[in-house]
Chains A and B, each alone.
Chain A
Amino acid sequence: MISVKYYSNWIKEAGRGHLTAFFCWGGFLSYTVFSLLQLGADTEYTFFGVGSSGLLKLCMGLGLLLAAAEYFYLLQPAKLDFYYSLPVRRGTVFWCRYLHGLIHFFMPFILSMCTCALYESSVEKRFLTEAGAYTVRSLLIFGTVFLLFYHMGIFVIAASGRVVSAMGLLAVLLFSGQVVFQCICAVYGKRLFDTFYRVPLWERLQELLIPYKLSGKLAGDGIYEMRKVWEYVPGKGICLAAVFWILLLLGGNFLMQKKRKTEAAGRMFAFYQVERAVVFFVSVLAALSAGSVVLSVSKMSVQGGESGMWKPALALGISALVAGALVHFLQQRLFRIPGVRNKKRFLQLAAEEAAACIVIGSFLLAAPQFDAFLPEKKQVEAVGICVSGLDMGWQEYKTLARGEDNYTAEEKMKQYRFEADGLEAGIEWIYKLRERNERETAEDYTFVTVCYFMKNGQEIYRAYPVDRESFHAFSAVYESTEYKERAYPAVLKEEASEERFTWSDGALEQILRLSDEEKEALLTDYKKDIGELKMADLEGIYPCGMLMMESQVKGKITKAYIYPSFVNTCRSLKMAGIEPDRDILDYPAESVIEREALEGIYKPGSALRCTSPEEIEALRGRFVSQEFDVQTLLCPFEYSKEAEVMIEDPESGAVKKIDCYERIR
């Protein structure tokens, strides 16, 4: 009875926390109004629950704010004296506040979600069948996100004695994972591993260990398709990680509530162990980060095997030792607790330095093994290959850098994923490439990013330098059926009658009036040309146009670049009234402005405007539409020279601007 009475009293007392109510009810009222307004305008890309980054941020923010509002008393000595002098257990005060925070979060949250669900159901009929499940999923997912941050907020306050240390500890919990993986592992990997591209395990660990990334993954952040969002269920691993974190932090909070002393308020940290752990962790991070800075600034790398390792090892070791010691002493100064023996401090410093050295040593020792990795053919289920500069334009090519995680490379590796003859040829080519890399020191021409999809489900990424000879040897892969199917997907079309054919010569588009038979014939000719295509055929030859096949049923457009060497296709096109070898200046041109450009920036004063027919005539054959820049290495343009060609559409009389590159003469 006493316990019930005390709890009811303390729930009322916790009710004094008007801040909590203000944050939650105010936050969710604003969110609901905003969501309803947005849903009224658009239900296709507006989501009130799963898929809403606004709700994700609100729940994360409220978790931390509520923890601060409810548990700030733990950092206030006068308030602690007041509460602890009353006839009530500390646990009662602590857990009543916990419940108070939960009640004030979940009440408006549930109301908000239900209101939005009802409203969306009334304006979007397709949502009716999904409303219940989607709303419950949203409640569970965002409730979990809130709990994660709420527990984290309580943890940092309970473990600290001052606001500044609580903020510091929160920063450590929130951002240290990012520092570890993005500033340390990624930099060490890039600089020390010659064939580094990315390590999926590190990415997975980031999702599981960095709270806001875990929350984002849990809440389906980054999914925009309506159907996918409505049906989104987070993976088991992510759910388990979230539950693990929530329970771990809850357990930590429970223990700290039991063990926390009143006099902890005002100290930097409430527990000596927390202080030691923070000092250790931050010092080791600082030591390793200093190594990252040295590696990034000096562009140092491990080359020449073990003999080339001593220099980076020395530089990394010295920088880590100095930075680690500096940060250790700085923290020691900040967190100094009298009465703790200096001997212990020095032992800890030694342990921190040793840990940093072990990590650096592990990276250095792992480098030769990492670079030497080549899977056996039988272990590989598929291989994704992205040869930089092959089947891509200049704009894509210049975004790629060896060892840098990149969207283009990812997309290309997805597109050029080989499982049959492409896999065989691809693995063979990689073996030879690596052999050559080890044997000779030929100048790098380009590089290839490879993903080995292993039979055990692992994905292993590597980036290898490619010399000119190896690049040309890639023709064995290029000429495989699988590669051509990926690079020229029009060859996979079985029926042409459903397609609408449009011809683009880089300037204007023209719908082809073809009968079903003519369409079939054109497609067959194209397939024949692709079947006979050799990689060497593409050297120095620019596409003369592009054939677009738009499915009349699915609406999907398939593009097929046509080269002058595609004899069969060009003949069919001519029969359809197309002039495949038409130059852009065959159209009546109003003006041509030539500019010199460097890295996409125009050189001042370099513009040259030609308007007279004679000047324009003299430029004939020099420019190709930028749309046809599809083989940067095999058939490059003069990328430093760009031109704007203003042509007139002979049928409509409209003037059109065409961005062009200059051909290499």
Chain B
Amino acid sequence: MIEIKNAVKYFEGNCAVNHVSLEIPEGILFGLLGTNGAGKSTLLRMMAGILKADEGEILFDGKSGYENPECKAEVCYLPDSPYYFPNAGLKEMARFYEAQYPKLEYESVRYMADMLNLDVDLPLRTFSKGMKRQAFLILALCAGTKYLLCDEVFDGLDPVVTEAVKSLFRREIKERKFTVAVASHKLQDLEDICGSIAILHKGGLVRAGDMRKKAENIWKIQCVFRETGAVEKLKEKLEVLRGYQDGYFVTLLVKGRLEEIQSEIWKLGPVFSGEMPMTLEEVFLAEMEETGYDIRKVLQ
């Protein structure tokens, strides 16, 4: 388990990570969501032991990873733009990683590279952005570490490869309790794979955890009324987090018991009323608006 306890990081007087506390359980894919400058990459770098926390601590299975090679041998970090030696190919990088991560086997790298049609001998500098990312994902997955920290991992990957990578993650998570922390500024990237998500904004943690669980008593309801003004009437009686009206068509995000909500809606005599499934984004919107936070500032 990764425990982030009250982590703080300042850059030249600016607070990049502001008292963030998180727990990332084992065997899940955890998403770190936020706009540019929210502090997700800084938090990932702190977790990877690259940056030292000015306050607080980050523990992997109870041990600090900073300047602790034994602990870091179980953590692999994949940055937004991975570094590789000049003129080095995947083969050479794999040999280097092999020396750093004892569980890495070159043959597995070669096998996965063949699957993704990557030439291990070609210099990485000749690869496209997506190919480089695939190459480093192969290294990261083959490193055999317990934890993988990825920054904007799906950026630059085409939909087919994105799906392939996601299924690889799922397989590894299932097979060996692999824990992946992924930072992204796109909610769509994480929607179908992340069990838990943390939202960062201006260095602070806005929300974290399994959002669907947290949104268990929030409902998305779509109705059609014969007259306008239904939203205002419902707001008086129900805890409406968000309500849109487009002519006679109304979409509501309401908190409460479903039966009570439906009963109040039917009292207004709608032509149609039905519960709709919520996207992760809507779950967030609901969660955030419940706390009075302007989520548009966080999600772009």
Quote the shortest CB–CB distance from A124 to chain B (angstroms).
46
| Contact of B77 with A90 in the complex, beta carbons under 8 Å | no
Query: Beyond A82-B83, A338-B14, is A2–B69 a contact (Cβ under 8 Å)?
Result: yes
- Among A6, A79, A338, point to the contact of B12 (Cβ < 8 A): A338
Q: Which residues of B contact A87 (CB under 8 A)?
A: 69-73, 75, 100-101
Q: Give chain A interface residues in 83-97, CB to chain B under 8 Å.
A: 84-90
Within 8 Å of chain B (Cβ to Cβ): is A115? no
Q: Which residues of B contact A656 (CB under 8 A)?
A: none
Surface stretch bound by B, among A9-17, A41-49, A242-250, A294-302: A9-17
| Contact of B51 with A88 in the complex, beta carbons under 8 Å | no
Q: Which residues of B contact A267 (CB under 8 A)?
A: 12
Interface membership of chain B positions 88-106, coded 1 if the CB is closer than 8 angstroms to chain A and 0 otherwise: 0000000010011100000
Within 8 Å of chain B (Cβ to Cβ): is A263? yes
Q: Which residues of A contact B51 (CB under 8 A)?
A: 261-263
Q: Which residues of B contact A263 (CB under 8 A)?
A: 11, 51
Range, interface on chain B:
20 to 34
Q: Give chain A interface residues in 251-274, CB to chain B under 8 Å.
A: 261-263, 267
Query: Beyond A13-B96, A87-B100, A89-B67, is A81–B14 a contact (Cβ under 8 Å)?
Result: no
Query: Beyond A16-B85, A82-B82, A89-B69, is A9–B99 a contact (Cβ under 8 Å)?
Result: yes
Quote the shortest CB–CB distance from B21 to chain A (angstroms).
22
Query: Beyond A9-B100, A12-B99, A267-B12, is A81–B50 a contact (Cβ under 8 Å)?
Result: yes
| Contact of A88 with B12 in the complex, beta carbons under 8 Å | no
Query: Beyond A2-B69, A85-B49, A87-B100, is A78–B12 a contact (Cβ under 8 Å)?
Result: no
- Among B50, B96, B99, point to the contact of A85 (Cβ < 8 A): B50
| Chain B: CB-nearest residue to A10 | B99
Within 8 Å of chain A (Cβ to Cβ): is B156? no
Within 8 Å of chain B (Cβ to Cβ): is A239? no
Query: Beyond A12-B99, A262-B51, is A6–B11 a contact (Cβ under 8 Å)?
Result: no
Q: Which residues of B contact A337 (CB under 8 A)?
A: 12-13
| Contact of A338 with B82 in the complex, beta carbons under 8 Å | no
| Contact of A88 with B14 in the complex, beta carbons under 8 Å | no
- Among A86, A261, A340, point to the contact of B100 (Cβ < 8 A): A86
Interface membership of chain B positions 172-207, coded 1 if the CB is closer than 8 angstroms to chain A and 0 otherwise: 000000000000000000000000000000000000
Within 8 Å of chain A (Cβ to Cβ): is B81? yes
Within 8 Å of chain B (Cβ to Cβ): is A80? yes
Within 8 Å of chain B (Cβ to Cβ): is A339? yes
CA distance A337 to B69 in the complex (A): 33
Q: Which residues of A contact B40 (CB under 8 A)?
A: none
Interface membership of chain B positions 113-129, coded 1 if the CB is closer than 8 angstroms to chain A and 0 otherwise: 00000000000000000
CA distance A13 to B85 in the complex (A): 10
Quote the shortest CB–CB distance from A271 to chain B (angstroms).
13
CA distance A221 to B35 in the complex (A): 62
Q: Which residues of B contact A338 (CB under 8 A)?
A: 12-14
Interface membership of chain A positions 61-89, coded 1 if the CB is closer than 8 angstroms to chain B and 0 otherwise: 00000000000000000111110111111
Query: Beyond A338-B12, A339-B12, is A78–B100 a contact (Cβ under 8 Å)?
Result: no
- Among B50, B71, B72, B75, point to the contact of A80 (Cβ < 8 A): B50
| Chain A: CB-nearest residue to B48 | A85
Query: Beyond A337-B12, A338-B12, is A78–B81 a contact (Cβ under 8 Å)?
Result: yes
Within 8 Å of chain A (Cβ to Cβ): is B5? no
Q: Which residues of A contact B71 (CB under 8 A)?
A: 87
| Contact of B13 with A88 in the complex, beta carbons under 8 Å | no
Quote the shortest CB–CB distance from B59 to chain A (angstroms).
16
Within 8 Å of chain A (Cβ to Cβ): is B166? no
| Chain B: CB-nearest residue to A91 | B67
CA distance A261 to B46 in the complex (A): 12
| Contact of A79 with B83 in the complex, beta carbons under 8 Å | yes
Interface centre among A87, A90, A338 (most CB of B within 10 A): A87
Interface membership of chain B positions 49-79, coded 1 if the CB is closer than 8 angstroms to chain A and 0 otherwise: 1111000000000000001011111011101
CA distance A261 to B9 in the complex (A): 12
Q: Which residues of B contact A80 (CB under 8 A)?
A: 50
CA distance A82 to B13 in the complex (A): 25
- Among A16, A88, A262, point to the contact of B69 (Cβ < 8 A): A88
Q: Which residues of A contact B96 (CB under 8 A)?
A: 13
| Chain A: CB-nearest residue to B92 | A16
Q: Give chain A interface residues in 306-352, CB to chain B under 8 Å.
A: 337-340
| Contact of A81 with B11 in the complex, beta carbons under 8 Å | no
Within 8 Å of chain A (Cβ to Cβ): is B110? no
Q: Tell me the dominant secondary structure on chain A's binding face.
A: helix
Quote the shortest CB–CB distance from B146 to chain A (angstroms).
12
Query: Beyond A16-B85, A87-B69, A338-B13, is A81–B45 a contact (Cβ under 8 Å)?
Result: yes
Q: Which residues of A contact B79 (CB under 8 A)?
A: 78, 81-82, 85
CA distance A13 to B83 in the complex (A): 14
Interface membership of chain A positions 334-374, coded 1 if the CB is closer than 8 angstroms to chain B and 0 otherwise: 00011110000000000000000000000000000000000
| Contact of B100 with A88 in the complex, beta carbons under 8 Å | yes
CA distance A261 to B16 in the complex (A): 15
CA distance A299 to B267 in the complex (A): 102
| Contact of B13 with A84 in the complex, beta carbons under 8 Å | no
Q: Which residues of A contact B45 (CB under 8 A)?
A: 81, 85, 262
| Chain B: CB-nearest residue to A79 | B83
Query: Beyond A2-B70, A6-B69, A90-B67, is A84–B49 a contact (Cβ under 8 Å)?
Result: yes
CA distance A163 to B12 in the complex (A): 19
Q: Which residues of B contact A340 (CB under 8 A)?
A: 13
Q: Which residues of B contact A84 (CB under 8 A)?
A: 48-50
| Chain A: CB-nearest residue to B45 | A81
Q: Which residues of B contact A79 (CB under 8 A)?
A: 83
| Chain A: CB-nearest residue to B86 | A16
- Among A82, A86, A339, point to the contact of B14 (Cβ < 8 A): A339
CA distance A568 to B284 in the complex (A): 120
CA distance A438 to B84 in the complex (A): 76
CA distance A89 to B70 in the complex (A): 10
Query: Beyond A79-B83, A81-B83, A338-B12, is A262–B50 a contact (Cβ under 8 Å)?
Result: yes
| Contact of A339 with B13 in the complex, beta carbons under 8 Å | yes
CA distance A90 to B69 in the complex (A): 10
Quote the shortest CB–CB distance from A437 to chain B (angstroms).
60
Interface centre among B11, B77, B79, B99 (most CB of A within 10 A): B99
CA distance A131 to B81 in the complex (A): 56
Q: Which residues of A contact B67 (CB under 8 A)?
A: 89-90
Quote the shortest CB–CB distance from B76 to chain A (angstroms).
8
CA distance A267 to B101 in the complex (A): 32
CA distance A89 to B51 in the complex (A): 13
Q: Which residues of B contact A6 (CB under 8 A)?
A: 69
- Among B14, B52, B72, B75, point to the contact of A261 (Cβ < 8 A): B52
Q: Which residues of A contact B14 (CB under 8 A)?
A: 338-339
Q: Which residues of A contact B52 (CB under 8 A)?
A: 261-262
CA distance A16 to B96 in the complex (A): 11
Q: Give chain A interface residues in 171-201, CB to chain B under 8 Å.
A: none
Quote the shortest CB–CB distance from B132 to chain A (angstroms).
13
CA distance A267 to B11 in the complex (A): 11
Q: Which residues of A contact B83 (CB under 8 A)?
A: 78-79, 81-82
Q: Which residues of B contact A81 (CB under 8 A)?
A: 45, 48, 50, 77, 79, 83
Interface membership of chain B positions 1-40, coded 1 if the CB is closer than 8 angstroms to chain A and 0 otherwise: 0000000000111100000000000000000000000000
CA distance A400 to B100 in the complex (A): 69
25 A-B residue contacts at CB 8 Å?
A6-B69, A9-B99, A78-B81, A79-B83, A80-B50, A81-B45, A82-B79, A84-B48, A84-B49, A84-B50, A85-B72, A85-B76, A85-B79, A87-B69, A87-B71, A87-B73, A88-B72, A262-B45, A262-B50, A262-B51, A263-B51, A337-B13, A338-B12, A338-B13, A340-B13
Chain B residues with a Cβ under 8 A of chain A: 11-14, 45, 48-52, 67, 69-73, 75-77, 79, 81-83, 85, 96, 99-101
Known contacts A82-B83, A87-B101, A261-B51; 7 further A-B pairs (Cβ under 8 A): A12-B99, A81-B48, A85-B50, A85-B77, A87-B100, A261-B52, A262-B50
For the complex of A and B, list the 10 residue pairs with the smallest distance between their C-beta atoms, beginning with the closest. Answer: A339-B13, A82-B83, A87-B72, A85-B77, A87-B73, A87-B69, A9-B99, A84-B50, A85-B48, A78-B83
